[in-house]
């Protein structure tokens, strides 16, 4: 039985970790299937935005401790995708986390690997690894400081204490906080706002955005110019101005 569901609604793909009996903890099967799902999403020219969520009112409990106890900890990731087949994957298209339950440990690191997040108002977000003599090794130690600032990240990482959804919103870690029953709908609405735009321009912009807190200004100026130049000659580059002049919605092809 599949543990990662792949569904598509127009140009939006919904990826659902489907192990509610284990609070959607990452198993070897989740890692393999998530990488395959991301391969499918990236390869499909008609899929422009993805939403990543969990089944059964839970987001992801992080690593499956039963698998770790059985000696399978090294199988909870993939060579290309890292933990869950996702956190270190090189990708072009935006992914929105729809967080309908607590995002702790590896679950928090999956959230941090996404581009945006819509979260339920009663959840907690954190990296409690130090409370169990562990280290957060799937991105939190460097992505969390970029997201919330070094001081707040240090407190979260070194105490292991989580923050609330409202605190995450105030810190800039997430985009929306809504009642749990509205999380997926809000994520869909955000994805739809992205999907009305030219997909190649979104991808080129995201590529620079992903390096914004890593590279220096000179490098980023060059990357921005390269991104702009990459649009010239595409069908969508011609369609955008034409639709504006003709006072109609553009018909993007992704070419």
Residues designated catalytic: 109, 129
Nearest Cα residue to 9 out of 230, 204, 215, 187: 187
- Please give the full DSSP string across 25-78, using - where no structure is assigned: -B-HHHHHHHHHHHHHHHH-TT--EEEEEESTT--B-SB-HHHHHTT-GGGSEE
Nearest Cα residue to 144 out of 157, 132, 135: 157
């Amino acid at each position: 039985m599949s543990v990662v569901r792949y569904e598509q609604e127009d140009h939006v793909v919904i990826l659902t970790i489907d192990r509610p009996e284990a609070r959607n903890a990452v198993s070897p099967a989740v890692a393999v299937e998530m990488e395959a799902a991301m391969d499918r999403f990236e390869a499909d020219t008609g899929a422009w935005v993805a939403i990543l969520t969990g089944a059964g009112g839970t987001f992801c409990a992080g690593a499956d401790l039963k698998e770790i106890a059985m000696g399978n900890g090294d199988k909870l990731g993939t060579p290309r995708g890292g933990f869950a087949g996702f956190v270190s994957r090189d990708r072009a298209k935006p992914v929105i986390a729809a967080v309908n339950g607590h995002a702790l440990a590896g679950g928090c690191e999956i959230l941090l690997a996404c581009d945006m997040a819509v979260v339920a108002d009663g959840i907690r977000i954190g990296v409690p690894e130090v409370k169990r003599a562990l280290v957060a090794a799937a991105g939190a130690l460097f992505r969390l400081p970029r997201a919330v600032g070094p001081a707040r990240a240090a407190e979260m990482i070194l105490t292991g204490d989580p923050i609330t959804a409202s605190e995450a919103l105030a810190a800039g870690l997430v985009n929306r906080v809504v009642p749990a029953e509205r999380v997926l709908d809000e994520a869909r609405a955000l994805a739809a706002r992205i999907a009305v735009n030219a997909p190649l321009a979104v991808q080129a912009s995201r590529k620079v955005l992903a390096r914004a807190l890593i590279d220096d200004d000179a490098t980023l100026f060059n990357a921005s110019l390269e991104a702009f130049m990459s649009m010239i000659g595409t069908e969508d580059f011609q369609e955008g101005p034409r639709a504006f002049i003709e006072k109609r919605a553009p018909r993007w092809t992704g070419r």
